[in-house]
Amino acid sequence: MSAAPQAVEAWLADLTRALRRENVDGWHCEQVVAEAGRHLSDGGEDPVAAFGTPQEYARIVAADLAVDDGEPPSPAAPRLVVTGVRKSYGRGARRRPVLDGVDLVVAAGEVAAVVGPNGAGKSTLLRICAGLESPDAGSVVVTGALGYCPQQPALVDLLRAEEHFDLVGAGRGMDTAQARRAGGDLAAQLAWIPDRQPVGELSGGTRQKLNVVLAALGDPGLLLLDEPYQGFDGEAFLDFWERVWHWRDAGAAVVVVTHRPEQLKRVDIVLDLGGPR
Ligand SMILES: Nc1ncnc2c1ncn2[C@@H]1O[C@H](COP(=O)(O)OP(=O)(O)OP(=O)(O)O)[C@@H](O)[C@H]1O
């Protein structure tokens, strides 16, 4: 008898947690879970019959990875490759270059900060990376799923938070129960318990938390976060950066637009877009 999809889903989620507990790095963790998922969906087997319990299988994987094969570790897979991106706005004499040949590579397990003064083109770059605008020249290659948190939350004021989870989760292949569970978990990590009020009635900081949760729903491999913590109080700001380090450790590539210098020493890449042109 083939396993119910929910049982497979739950087994894979437990495997992810067990691998992390065994200190398997995010990239390997993702590969192992994806491979197991493919095997289970092809064969329709019961996961415990095929692999054992998630904990047992995670221990086997961790032991295999611990065997030193003498090879240097392979470089992490790039999730975002931006090459020579140029963008101008306006026409004729009013034409203004905003991005002038921007390069950026962010791999799985890396955090890049995009910095620069107002008008330097940070949001423009993220919109181009998210595929919402085209560059005039250059290219952007994204590998895997991406989550984008725009500077201004794009919410439907009359809907509740959980209805936003439903909509965004559906776009990422999640059913309602999965989307609501994942959304609730992410919200709790930002110290927010969504209730049933329409999001138009939420405070600015809480709307911004929802904006972050929607970007991260379904664990996309690339997160593009445009000043996501505007309106957060001090504690929420720290919670947010804890999530960033967590996503990085889980193997995501994270790009954060920021005006705040205090986290820059902890990020892997700083892209400084310089002054307004
Ligand atoms: N759709 C548009 N049409 C015309 N000009 C635009 C458009 N979008 C952005 N710009 C201009 O491009 C420049 C860069 O804007 P952008 O929002 O990318 O900067 P930023 O670095 O994110 O700024 P901030 O720190 O204030 O958020 C600004 O001068 C802005 O006015």
Determine if ligand 1 sits within 6 Å of the CB of residue 248: no
Mutate to test the pocket of ligand 1, among 124, 125, 126 (most ligand atoms within 8 A of CB): 124
Share of the chain above pLDDT 70, in %: 95
Three-state SS annotation for the chain? CCCCHHHHHHHHHHHHHHHHHCCCCHHHHHHHHHHHHHHHHHHCCCHHHHHCCHHHHHHHHHHHHHCCCCCCCCCCCEEEEEEEEEEEECCHHHCEEEEEEEEEEEECCCEEEEECCCCCCHHHHHHHHCCCCCCCEEEEEECCCEEEECCCCCCCCCCEHHHHHHHHHHHCCCCHHHHHHHHHHHHHHCCCCCCCCEHHHCCHHHHHHHHHHHHHCCCCCEEEEECCCCCCCHHHHHHHHHHHHHHHHCCCEEEEECCCHHHHHHCCEEEECCCCC
Closest CA to 209 of 181, 178, 224, 188: 188
Mean pLDDT, range 135-139, rounded to an integer: 96
Determine if ligand 1 sits within 6 Å of the CB of residue 102: no
Q: Tell me: the pLDDT tens digits for 238-247?
A: 888 989 999 9
Mutate to test the pocket of ligand 1, among 91, 94, 122, 273 (most ligand atoms within 8 A of CB): 122
Determine if ligand 1 sits within 6 Å of the CB of residue 122: yes
Q: Tell me what pLDDT residue 230 has.
A: 82
Determine if ligand 1 sits within 6 Å of the CB of residue 129: no
Atom 29 of ligand 1, residue of closest alpha carbon: 119
Closest CA to 128 of 117, 119, 136: 136
Cα 16 to Cα 256: distance, rounded to the nearest angstrom:
25
Banded pLDDT at 275 (limits 50, 70, 90): low
Q: Which two tokens stand for residue 274?
A: 């310089």
Q: Tell me what pLDDT residue 72 has.
A: 47
Q: What is the ipTM of this complex?
A: 0.97
Share of the chain above pLDDT 90, in %: 54
CA of 200 to the centre of ligand 1 (A): 26
CA of 115 to the centre of ligand 1 (A): 14
Q: Tell me: the pLDDT tens digits for 178-218?
A: 999 999 999 999 989 999 999 999 999 999 999 999 999 99
Mutate to test the pocket of ligand 1, among 86, 91, 123 (most ligand atoms within 8 A of CB): 123
Residue of 2 and 199 predicted with greater confidence: 199
Banded pLDDT at 67 (limits 50, 70, 90): low
Cα 218 to Cα 173: distance, rounded to the nearest angstrom:
8
Atom of ligand 1 nearest to the CA of 125: 18
**Mean pLDDT, all residues of the chain:** 88
Q: Which two tokens stand for residue 239?
A: 């919670």
Atom 7 of ligand 1, residue of closest alpha carbon: 89
CA of 242 to the centre of ligand 1 (A): 29
Q: Tell me what pLDDT residue 277 has.
A: 47
Q: Tell me what pLDDT residue 265 has.
A: 80
Banded pLDDT at 62 (limits 50, 70, 90): confident
Q: Tell me what pLDDT residue 75 has.
A: 62
Determine if ligand 1 sits within 6 Å of the CB of residue 119: yes
Mean pLDDT, range 82-98, rounded to an integer: 93
Residues 6+ apart with CB under 8 A from 244: 111, 225, 254, 256
CA of 60 to the centre of ligand 1 (A): 51
Q: Tell me what pLDDT residue 201 has.
A: 94
Q: Tell me: the pLDDT tens digits for 5-37?
A: 888 999 999 998 888 888 888 778 888 888 888
Atom of ligand 1 nearest to the CA of 227: 27
Q: Tell whether the model's pLDDT for residue 60 goes beyond 90.
A: no
Q: Tell me what pLDDT residue 42 has.
A: 75
Atom 24 of ligand 1, residue of closest alpha carbon: 118
